[in-house]
């Protein structure tokens, strides 16, 4: 099938292009890109795309799958459909499933399920029932440690051979001797390794960023130092050993300063924050909505400003979604007792565009880069420019379309989001993969 997207706004962070073009897509490939295209075959489907945005498919660095073990929260099928509906053509799942993804056999099992999906293109605007086939490409993080205590390394070389995208536990590793050993062992394997720096002794039973809002809301606080001391320790190990690392879930202004200094000194690091940490601060917690119970917690207004500036400057390389589904029953309890995390694959692009791009704080290129080419680079991957004859891995987005966040309008099986029941502006129209 051949399609002509007429006068679509092409945002291509690879080529640094933001402008109006005609784009021809034929049989899964970009066939032509020009300011105007009139020479087309009679069977070409012409689509008026004025007001729509076309960019490379989005890449999510890390999110949680319910399957295996917690299929009531999310299956691989629903996860991939939610990703495609949100514009993500590649998604990387964390290994904290049940069982943990710590052996080649489980990696192969999940890869087989992934390959059961069909390729082509996906339109979230079609009926949600029956569900359309998944389109997003699934990549798998391999676990670093075998046991809950995090004291024994997995067979990292075997997992690398099995095809994992990289290594992380998705949880804090506080045994610095083990972290050092991991960095030494992984050096020749050439796979990304990601750490979530967080001192759990300093975190203790906290659920909210330390400060006046935590006092006002009567919630146990988490000091900034719970994150920054762990980052400082990790940076010292990287400086000594030299293995490149990715720092996950950056949430404080001081963390941004530490990472900026380390990058200026030439340390081989990349970093990411999550989309909700760019949009909300501690004041939002006044509703006690358990979907705002995150780990790390939402920062204060200074943290939010520093994270936004860090993303724009490239100090924070990428925006991750960290999609964390939980069932209704799991989240309906007191704020401090609820599990931390929220969904986001279908919500992130509309909300980030509305509150960062439409306000003029970010350019469209800056946001799209942080959601596509930059996260791919953190994984040692590349995103293709929107030029012929590249494969069509693309996202078509309507910044003006309004829709309501309701269970019936979501592909994810969970609904733990603070935006449930609200009207959003902006929705993905189609993805090609």
| Distance of alpha carbon 172 from alpha carbon 99, whole angstroms | 18
Q: Decide: helix, strand or coil at residue 209.
A: strand
CA nearest to 142, candidates 178, 100, 171 = 100
**Catalytically annotated residues:** 322
Check if the beta carbon of residue 175 is closer than 8 Å to that of residue 148.
Answer: no
CA proximity to 135, closest of 110, 118, 115:
118
Residues 6+ apart with CB under 8 A from 40: 2, 4, 24, 46
Query: Interhelix angle for 176-186 vs 225-241, to 10°?
Result: 40
Q: Three-state DSSP class for 430?
A: strand
The DSSP bridge partners found for residue 142 are 167
What per-residue string of b and e applies to 1-32 under the rule 16 or more CB within 10 Å gives b? eebbbbbbbbbbbbeebbeebbbbbbeeebbb
Q: How far is CA 254 from the centre of its chain?
A: 22
> How are beta strands 17-26 and 53-56 bridged, if at all?
unpaired
* Cα dihedral 35→59→319→416 (10° resolution): 120
Query: Do 172 and 179 contact (CB within 8 A), yes or no?
Result: no
| Strand (E) or helix (H) holding 425 | strand 423-432
Q: Considering Cα of 284, then 169, then 431, then 114, what sign does the dihedral take?
A: negative
Query: In this structure, what are the phi and psi dihedrals at residue 410, rounded to the nearest 5 degrees?
Result: -120, 145
- CA 146 – CA 142 distance, rounded (Å): 10
Torsions phi, psi for 370 (to 5 deg)? -70, -15
């Amino acid at each position: 099938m051949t399609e002509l997207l007429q006068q679509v706004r092409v945002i291509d962070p690879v080529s640094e292009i933001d402008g109006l073009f005609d784009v021809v897509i034929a049989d899964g490939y970009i066939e032509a890109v020009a300011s105007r295209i009139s020479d087309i075959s009679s069977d070409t489907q012409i689509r008026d795309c004025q007001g729509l945005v076309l960019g490379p498919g989005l890449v999510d660095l890390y999110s949680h799958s319910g399957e295996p073990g917690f299929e009531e929260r999310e299956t691989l099928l629903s996860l991939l459909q939610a990703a495609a509906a949100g514009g993500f053509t590649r998604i990387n799942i964390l290994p904290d499933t049940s069982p943990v993804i710590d052996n080649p056999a489980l990696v192969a099992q999940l890869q087989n399920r992934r390959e059961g999906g069909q390729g082509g293109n996906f339109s979230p605007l079609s009926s949600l029932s029956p569900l359309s086939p998944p389109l997003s490409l699934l990549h798998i993080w391999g676990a670093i440690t075998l046991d809950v205590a995090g004291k024994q390394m997995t067979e990292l070389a075997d997992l690398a051979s099995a095809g994992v995208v990289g290594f992380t536990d998705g949880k804090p590793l506080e045994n610095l001797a083990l972290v050092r050993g991991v960095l030494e062992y992984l050096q020749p394997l050439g796979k990304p390794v990601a750490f979530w720096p967080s001192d759990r002794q300093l975190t203790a039973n906290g659920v909210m960023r330390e400060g006046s809002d935590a006092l006002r809301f009567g919630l146990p606080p988490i000091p900034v130092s719970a994150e920054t001391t762990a980052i400082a320790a990790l940076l010292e190990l990287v400086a000594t050993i030299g293995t490149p690392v990715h720092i996950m879930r950056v949430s404080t202004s001081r963390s941004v300063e530490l990472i900026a200094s380390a990058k200026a000194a030439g340390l081989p690091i990349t970093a990411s924050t999550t989309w909700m940490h760019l949009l909300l601060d501690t004041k939002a917690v006044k509703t006690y909505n358990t979907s705002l119970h995150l780990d790390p917690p939402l920062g204060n207004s200074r943290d939010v400003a520093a994270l936004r500036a860090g993303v724009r400057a490239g100090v924070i390389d990428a925006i991750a979604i960290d999609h964390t589904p939980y069932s209704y029953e799991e989240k309906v309890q007191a704020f401090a007792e609820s599990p931390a995390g929220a969904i986001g694959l279908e919500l992130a692009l509309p909300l980030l565009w509305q509150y960062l791009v439409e306000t003029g704080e970010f350019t469209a290129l800056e946001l799209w880069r942080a959601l596509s080419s930059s996260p791919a680079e953190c994984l040692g991957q590349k995103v293709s420019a929107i030029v012929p004859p590249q494969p069509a891995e693309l996202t078509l987005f309507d910044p003006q379309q309004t829709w309501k966040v309701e269970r019936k309008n979501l592909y994810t099986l969970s609904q733990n989001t603070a935006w449930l029941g609200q009207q959003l502006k902006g929705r993905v129209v189609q993805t090609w993969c």
